[in-house]
Structure formats: structure tokens, C-alpha cells
Structure 1
Amino acid sequence: MGEHALLSASSSHRWLHCTPSARLEEEFENTSSVFAAEGTAAHELSEYKLRQYLGETVKRPVSEFDSDDLDYYTDIYVDYAIELITEIRSNCKDPIILLEQRLDYSCYVDGGFGTGDLVIVADSTLDIVDLKYGKGVAVSAEENPQMKLYALGALALFDSLYDIKTVRMTICQPRLESISTYEITADKLIAWAEGELRPRAKLAINGEGEFLPGGHCRFCRARHTCRARADEYLSLAKYDFKLPALLSEEEISEVLNLADRIATWAADVYAFATDLAIREGKEWHGYKLVEGRSNRRYTNERAVVETVTAAGYTDIYKQSLIGITDMEKLLGKKMFKELLSGLVEKPAGKPTLVQFSDKRQAISLNNTAEADFKEVI
């Protein structure tokens, strides 16, 4: 496993908000996941492809994740990187191009360093490009602290040699078809580092400051048993389980704002408790381990048919109308439309309340729909 900084760039969104979390995490084992391993494979393959493009003699990496998908999505990132390199070369005779470059930002954050997937220095402009292979949530480059730390590390390497005025930071997420770029002046980046980063990092390295729960808790190793996180969500008990009709609009808004995070927190605690019960035999008051529910299934359907048929039973199949997708394939789209257009409908989906950040378009309901949704209320 590679070396990791206590105040790593990848976890900066968390320790900049919740400064004591970095030291608290040290009490928990730093385990990896299959998703992290897949991301490593994507980075290694991308690096190989780019080094080939740059004329280097390199050996193609091999991993358990090798697949057409891995090849396809890394190509998207590599194609973007090549386009950027080509564009920069058209305006700069001899830019510096670095791949998987260690970037040390310890002049602002004690012991801080990270790895830049692609770093390009051309005259007065510095480009930092980061590949994110995950497909969970699109990550914006705008004011992204991880990218800022990478940029600070690159400035430390080259600012004495080049008069860098502009820093461009790009996050490429090929599996989400997302490419986000943010531009900032070098002066503003350094001002942020001096005014905000340095003092927050000092608190974090000393384990000082206030615990601050939030979306950044998602990947914190202490999230299962963090007292501050529990206190925030348990604070909903102040509503004393009043019926929704007795809550004020402000109270309902507060509950809705926390609902998703409470569900995630509860699932984290449950998974943590279950894991300890299974691995260490930990007993939790009021709970026990039992065999989960499962559905019966045939181990050999052909043998079942032969056995039951030999016993004289023949009515062992149920016939039903094939589904719409299969029917359309059978008839062809044109015939399907001619024969069944009046017999197929797509009902409106059930209204669902989501956060404003959801990309689906808002709908409005008139009063005649009230009866239809009484069950929801």
C-alpha cells in the first residue's frame, strides 16, 4: 500500500471543516476497498497510455480489473489529456509535462503531499488534471481543496523557475461524463493558503478545533462512533415524535434537511455493530445474531422437471404474457406501434420530494390531485 499523509489532499474537504477528525481517524485501521483498487488500476492504465503518447517505452500494466469498460473509460480521460497537451503545445514551444507527480505542499501543511495525475507548466499557466474513476457523485473542481493543495505543491516546484500567473484545475470523471475546470490566479491561491489553509491545518495536525458533522463525514473512519455526529442526529429527538401536523414549517424543513444523513448514519452504526458481532462475538444489549431470511430455490431445474414428470405430473409450467420489452422485440418497433399503441400506457410516476440539487425537473400539482396523494401524507 502506498504512503499516505496524515493531512492528505484527498481528505482535505473533511479535515478543513472538521479539524480534529484527522487525529481521531488514527484510532481506526485504514482499510482499502475494491473501489479504491479499481481506481488504482484505472490510474495505472491511464498513465501507461499517456506515457506511450509522449514517446516513452513502458510496459502495459495488468490487473484483475482489466476489461473493455476500463479500456473505454480510461481512453476518455486520455483523449481529454492529449487534447489539452496538444492545445498547450500549440501556444508554448516546450511545456513541462509530468505524470503521477509527487506534489509536496508541506510549506503550508505539516507533512502534506499528494500525487498529481497530470501536471503541465507552460509559460505563465499551470494546469493540474485529476482523474476520478468512481461513478458515485460528480465532483466539481470549483474551490476544490484537494485540487488547490495539488496546485500549491506544483507551485512550490516551479514558481521559482516560471512566472506562473494562472492556475487551472480540472477533474475528469469519465464514467459520469463529467469534466469540471476551475481557474484561479496564483496570488489568490496563495492568499487562501496563508489565510485559511495554514491555520486550519495547524489545528488539524494538533487534533484541535471543533468537531463539525456534515457531508464530509461520508468517508471518515470514525464516522460509526463519532460523538459529534451522533449528537447532531439524535437532536431530532427534541421533536418528541410529534405528528407532522404539530410541527412548524421550520421544524419540518430541518427534519427534511437531516433525513438522508440520519439514514446514512444509522446504517453506518448498524453495519459497524454487525461487523463487531460477526468478527469478534460482540454482544449488543437487546440484539442477537440470527440467520437471515432467504427464498427457496431449485438446485437443478432440469432434474426437477425429469423427476416430477416421471411421477406423472405434467402441468408444471405457468404461461403468462411476455413483457413489453420482449413484445416490442418480437413484433418490431413499427408493428408494435401499429398493433398496441392504444393498449400500452406509461403512468405518471409517484411524486417524490428531493433536494433542490436533484437534476430532475420540478412539477406542480393542482388541488384536484389532493385525494390521489392522501396515502402519501
Structure 2
Amino acid sequence: MGHEERSHALLSASGAHRWLSCTPSARLEEQFPDTTSEAAKEGTLAHELAEMKVRNHFYTTAFGKRKLTAGINALKKNELWRDEMMGYTDIYLDYIKSVSLALKNPPYVTIEKQVDISKYVPEGFGTADCILISGNTLHVIDFKYGKSPDGRVEAEENPQLSLYALGAYEAYKVLYHIEEIKISIVQPRLSDGISEWGCTLEELLTFGRYVYAKAELAIKGEGEFAPGPKTCKYCRARGRCRARAEENVRLAFSPDKDKLPPLISNEQLGVYLNQGMDVAKWLSDLQDCALAECLAGQEVPGWKAVEGRGSRVWSDMDEAFSKLTENGISETVLWERKPLTLAQIEKVVGKKDFETFVGDKVVKAPGKPALVKESDKRPAITNIVSAKDAFKEDI
């Protein structure tokens, strides 16, 4: 099955984090088209490459080197292809190989397995990237291509992967005596992009019973709306949802009834940041929605679509430069020479040669301080100099 041709159930496993929290959202989303982004298309391309590499590793006879090479060459014709995808998908493959080699017995392996989860979710199904079964352990491994630290996906109690595990258990419970569940997520474009979690079969089945109750509400469009930054982030109804609008108006504009000091405390600062996380994004989504309506010829009272500020461009740069040089303007004035960035040079040279030739000339510059949620895995930093650093002797 091609990754772009994957079907999506109303209550999809990939959207489970949303409809489990906000059960009416699934039916609400049906009124809006399912669109995709360039980042999502790039991820799909990387998934196809990852699948071929894993298939070649485990099924060398059926999918040998010749097929792998032909498949990669076909993917390279895609305009979104990047050579760096080879290295990132190798990280995913290496992880699967390391898990497989650590097992006491060679595992049963299935790749891009469509699993039926209809026992727990009406008409539900999903596609698991890789499933390994060895002894009494079922291991579900998922490949994510996102590169934003804010988009790091945790394996612990992950609803999408837990649903895949439930579907895999139902498919193979007759053949294997499964007692333990392991879930892994590999995000190779993040420095800490491997997340692992495990649970017992009974814990997974308990989750299944919870899902069943929520899915019964969601399939009918019933239950309580639960707007929030994570819940609403990819919801197709996010720009029109009344529950989200009312919640953000409450958070942003509700006046304080009691007389308060003129300055807020650190405690209140943290509270307001938490409360306002979704407000700016909500306003941006409202603007996108209103612009689309205006461009479609619909009236949004108080607003209209206009042409943004344009910029001058050459109609024919080569001809323009030629005329300039003919009139005595030196080419050195017309062109700016500047080095490629480190990342661009690494891409041109290749990771292996780059590391061999100039790897020792690369240092990691500290990043600009950023404010993140306390749950972020990165260590906290401060500008406070410790006593040890302040009084340490020069060596």
C-alpha cells in the first residue's frame, strides 16, 4: 500500500489523542476538507524510504538490493527528496536491527501492517510501521519525521501506538502467547528522538476498554468538548469551533473581579502563560478562516481581503545583467560571493566525507534561550553563576 493512498477512518488511530479527549470533534471535523502540508508530504516520502530499507533487511529474497536501489532512484525523482533522508532512515533501520538482535529468538516481522481495531473503535483501523513478535512480547515501532522539538512524540501511553498494539494483539493472539507490550517511537531528526515504553497485556486491554467507551461517544458526535493547545492543534474545525472560541475568549478577556496588585507574581506569570498558550494560535486560525471566506466571495463583517505589499522582481535576470555589463557595470558589483552554511556544505559533501575531512573543525554553538513547558526533556538553564564557577581557579 502506498503511503499517500492510506485510508483514514473517522476515528483514526493517528487522531486518537484528539477524539479521546474531545469526543465530539470527530464528527465536527467531517464538515471540513482533509488537507495536507509540504512537511507532511516530505514525511510520507521519508516513510516510503524507511519502509523499503526495513523490508530489504528482513526480506532480502523478496525485496533484494536491486529492488531497493530501483525504489530509491524512483523516490529521488520527487521534488521533495533530500539526500539527508538516507541518513535519517538509516537511524530508524539501525534501531530496529538493534532491537531485533537483542531478542533471544528471531522475531516474526511485519512491515506496514494494516491492523483492525474495530473491536475497540467502530470501523477503526490503522497502519503500523513495524511490528516485531518474539516469545511473549509484542513490539510496535513507529517512524516519525518531524524535526521540531515541540513536536517530539512520546511513546509513554501513546494512544496511536497503543491502538496499533491492540490491533496487532487481536491479529496474532491465536498464534502467539503475548503477555508484554513494548512501544517505540523513532524521530531521527531530533537529538533525543528515541522514546520507549512498555506495559503488560492487561494494562493494554484496560486501555482498550477505556477507548471503547470514548469511541462510542465519538462515533455519535456526543460527549463534552475539551479545547486545548494539543487537542486543537491539528483539528480541521479549529478555526470554526465554538467551544474553542468561547474558551479562548474566557482565558484572554475575562476581567478579574477582585482588586489585585499592579504587578503579577511569578506564580501568576506561569498561570497566564498556560492559560494563553492557545489564544495566539486561535486568533491566527480565525484570520486564516476569515481570509479564505473573503477570497471565496463571502462577507465577513468588518473585514476584507486585499493584495499584500508586492516586491520588484526581474522579468529576465540574465538579459538585465547582460545589459548592465554592456553599459560598463562590472560583474563583481552584480554578484555577491558568500560561503554556504555548514548544513549546506554537509549536504553537498555527504555526511561521511564531511565528518572525515572537517568533523574536528565543527563545534556546537549554544542555542538562544527559549521558554518551554516544564515537561520538556531538555535541562533547565539560568544566567546565575554558581559559586563553584565564580571562584574556580584558572588552570
TM bucket, shorter chain: 0.7 to 0.9
1:255 is aligned to 2:272: yes
Counterpart position of 1:122 = 134
Deviation of residue 14 (structure 1)? 0.2
1:175 counterpart SS class: coil
Counterpart position of 2:97 = 82
Cα distance in structure 2, aligned partners of 1:365 and 1:34: 42
Please, which moves more after superposition, 65-74 or 3-12? 65-74
Determine what percentage of the aligned residue pairs are the same residue: 40
* 1:169-205 per-position Cα deviation (integer Å, ceiling 9, x unaligned): 00001111311010100111112212x2111111111
| C-alpha spacing 1:52/1:364, structure 2 compared with 1 (3 Å) | closer
1:211-222 matches, within 5 Å, as 211-214=225-228, 215-222=230-237
* 1:98-149 per-position Cα deviation (integer Å, ceiling 9, x unaligned): 0001111111111111111110111111100000112131111001111110
1:183 is aligned to 2:198: yes
Amino acid at match of 2:10: L
Cα distance in structure 1, aligned partners of 2:50 and 2:328: 57
Amino acid at match of 2:321: R
2:254 counterpart SS class: helix
Deviation of residue 269 (structure 1)? 1.1
What TM-score, normalized to structure 1? 0.79
Counterpart position of 1:144 = 158
Counterpart position of 1:11 = 15
1:266 is aligned to 2:283: yes
Counterpart position of 1:374 = none
1:176 counterpart SS class: coil
1:220-299 matches, within 5 Å, as 220-235=235-250, 236-239=252-255, 246=262, 249=265, 252-278=269-295, 280-296=296-312
| C-alpha spacing 1:244/1:114, structure 2 compared with 1 (3 Å) | farther
Deviation of residue 259 (structure 1)? 2.6
2:290 counterpart SS class: helix
2:194 counterpart SS class: strand
Amino acid at match of 1:149: L
Cα distance in structure 2, aligned partners of 1:356 and 1:304: 59
Cα distance in structure 2, aligned partners of 1:230 and 1:56: 56
Counterpart position of 2:125 = 113
1:25 is aligned to 2:32: no
Match of 1:361 among 356, 359, 380: 380
Cα distance in structure 2, aligned partners of 1:202 and 1:248: 44
Counterpart position of 2:184 = 170
* 1:37-85 per-position Cα deviation (integer Å, ceiling 9, x unaligned): 2222212211111121121433343231333112121111111112222
Cα distance in structure 2, aligned partners of 1:140 and 1:268: 26
| C-alpha spacing 1:100/1:352, structure 2 compared with 1 (3 Å) | closer
CA contact under 8 A between 1:244 and 1:252: conserved in structure 2?
no
* 1:246-294 per-position Cα deviation (integer Å, ceiling 9, x unaligned): 476576544321333111111111112112222x122322222222124
Cα distance in structure 2, aligned partners of 1:157 and 1:210: 33
Counterpart position of 1:338 = none
Counterpart position of 2:393 = none
Deviation of residue 360 (structure 1)? 5.9
Counterpart position of 2:359 = none
Counterpart position of 1:334 = none
Amino acid at match of 2:16: S
Cα distance in structure 2, aligned partners of 1:69 and 1:354: 28
| C-alpha spacing 1:259/1:241, structure 2 compared with 1 (3 Å) | farther
| C-alpha spacing 1:159/1:57, structure 2 compared with 1 (3 Å) | closer
Please, which moves more after superposition, 66-75 or 180-189? 66-75
Deviation of residue 168 (structure 1)? 0.3
- Aligned alpha-carbon RMSD (Å): 3.3
Counterpart position of 2:116 = 104
CA contact under 8 A between 1:99 and 1:119: conserved in structure 2?
yes
Cα distance in structure 1, aligned partners of 2:242 and 2:95: 44
2:181 counterpart SS class: strand
Query: Who wins on radius of gyration, i.e. which is larger?
Result: 1
| Structure 2 unaligned regions, length at least 5 | 342-364, 386-395
Cα distance in structure 2, aligned partners of 1:309 and 1:298: 20
| C-alpha spacing 1:69/1:353, structure 2 compared with 1 (3 Å) | closer
Amino acid at match of 2:293: L
| C-alpha spacing 1:275/1:167, structure 2 compared with 1 (3 Å) | same
1:174 counterpart SS class: coil
CA contact under 8 A between 2:293 and 2:300: conserved in structure 1?
no
1:118 counterpart SS class: strand
Cα distance in structure 2, aligned partners of 1:240 and 1:173: 43
| Structure 1 unaligned regions, length at least 5 | 326-345, 367-377
Paired residues, what number?
Answer: 333
1:193 counterpart SS class: helix
Cα distance in structure 2, aligned partners of 1:41 and 1:80: 19
Deviation of residue 305 (structure 1)? 4.9
CA contact under 8 A between 1:115 and 1:150: conserved in structure 2?
yes
